[in-house]
């Protein structure tokens, strides 16, 4: 079908609408304390199933190769069991802002999510990986979303991300390819143009702290920001992170632990942090800015806002858990709306 669609498009002929009806949902699960979210993705033919982190902030699809001796916790891809595997052998490597990395070589094969398949996808097979990945229960990382669009497989050239508190069945949200689920958010979507489409970069107009019974305190933070499903926290540069935490009583930048705050900060500051985008405020509850307790420091917790050497602010899963995001590559924009969450116990 994809070949038929590409042929018609090449010659500027109309593509029958019934060929462009693909909509696929991928349920995701939470790993750790909201460290990352993964879904089951098939690699090869027949599909070998892997737990992969769908990362909008990276262009690579990668997982452990059979030669990786330090990848003992991860399922490894066996190319001999795939009829669509193509050897490439180019050297491959990737590194992330937190210092984690993987190296190996490339192959090409089919990537599938349910009935949605992308043929001839470049895939990195890791032969070595950093200690952070050795301890990770997720098998790898994937971003093949642009290839889905290039192959004209979807009803609409979009995908939507919904992250919520995990329930008793470990359901923690979903990716919806080709459509928008209006039952997952409140009100209407605010559409914001991308300033750099490759990285899903938008303009962050401002940040404020809204405390019940006190009011709104504007924090001098603005600039380019990217929406990144593969980053756990909200990452700012050193100045911005310092400015943010100056609004949090007793928050401090520990030489050992980085930014930390009292674990009862949500009781001291009942309310939310607002991120103004496209002239609209999108909130994250103060309780979600408080991360896991710091071992050995009674009453102290890690902050969900951290600092890094970056030219842009990264709005990671902490932001996405409160806000439904539609990634619209076709129109170079994103849609944002407050998420609608179930009252489901863990």
User: Is residue 55 annotated as a catalytic residue, yes or no?
Assistant: yes
Cβ of 223: how many Cβ atoms within 10 Å?
14
Among 223, 204, 207, 197, CA closest to 334: 197
From the list 53, 60, 228, 281, the catalytic residue is 228
User: Is residue 228 annotated as a catalytic residue, yes or no?
Assistant: yes
Which class for 220: exposed (0-12), middle (13-18), buried (19 or more C-beta within 10 A)? exposed
H/E segment holding residue 129: strand 116-129
- Structural tokens at position 90: 């180019």
CA distance 263 to 301: 5
CA distance 183 to 180: 9
**CA distances (Å), 76 to each of 29, 84, 128, in order?**
20, 17, 12
**CA distances (Å), 226 to each of 202, 279, 287, in order?**
6, 17, 23
From the list 53, 55, 281, 328, the catalytic residue is 55
| Active-site residue set | 55, 228
């Amino acid at each position: 079908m994809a070949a038929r669609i590409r042929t018609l498009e090449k010659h500027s002929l109309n593509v029958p609408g019934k060929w462009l009806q693909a909509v696929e949902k991928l349920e995701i699960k939470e790993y750790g304390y909201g460290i990352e979210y993964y879904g089951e993705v098939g690699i090869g033919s027949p599909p070998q199933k892997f737990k992969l982190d769908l990362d909008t902030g990276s262009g690579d699809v990668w997982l452990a190769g059979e030669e990786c001796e330090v990848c003992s916790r991860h399922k490894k891809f066996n190319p001999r069991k795939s009829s669509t595997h193509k050897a490439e052998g180019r050297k491959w490597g990737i590194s992330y802002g937190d210092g984690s990395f993987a190296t190996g070589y490339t192959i090409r094969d089919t990537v599938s999510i349910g009935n949605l398949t992308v043929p001839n996808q470049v895939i990195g097979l890791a032969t070595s990986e950093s200690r952070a990945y050795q301890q990770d229960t997720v098998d790898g990382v994937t971003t093949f979303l642009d290839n889905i669009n290039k192959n004209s497989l979807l009803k609409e050239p979009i995908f939507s991300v919904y992250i919520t508190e995990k329930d008793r069945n470990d359901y923690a949200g979903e990716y919806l390819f080709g459509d928008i689920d209006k039952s997952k958010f409140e009100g209407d979507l605010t559409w914001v143009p991308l300033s750099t489409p490759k990285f899903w970069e938008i303009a962050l107009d401002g940040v404020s702290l809204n405390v019940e019974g006190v009011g709104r305190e504007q924090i001098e933070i603005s600039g380019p920001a990217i929406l990144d499903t593969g980053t756990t926290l909200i990452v700012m540069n050193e100045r911005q992170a310092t400015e943010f935490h100056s609004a949090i009583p007793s928050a401090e930048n520990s030489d050992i632990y980085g930014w930390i705050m009292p674990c009862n900060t949500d009781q001291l500051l009942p309310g939310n942090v607002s991120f103004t985008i496209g002239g609209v405020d999108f909130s994250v509850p103060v309780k979600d800015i408080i991360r896991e307790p710091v071992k050995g420091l009674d009453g102290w917790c890690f902050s969900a806002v951290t600092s890094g050497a970056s030219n842009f602010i990264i709005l990671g899963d902490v932001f996405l858990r409160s806000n439904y995001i539609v990634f619209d590559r076709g129109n170079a924009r994103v849609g944002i709306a407050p998420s609608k969450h179930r009252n489901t116990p863990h």
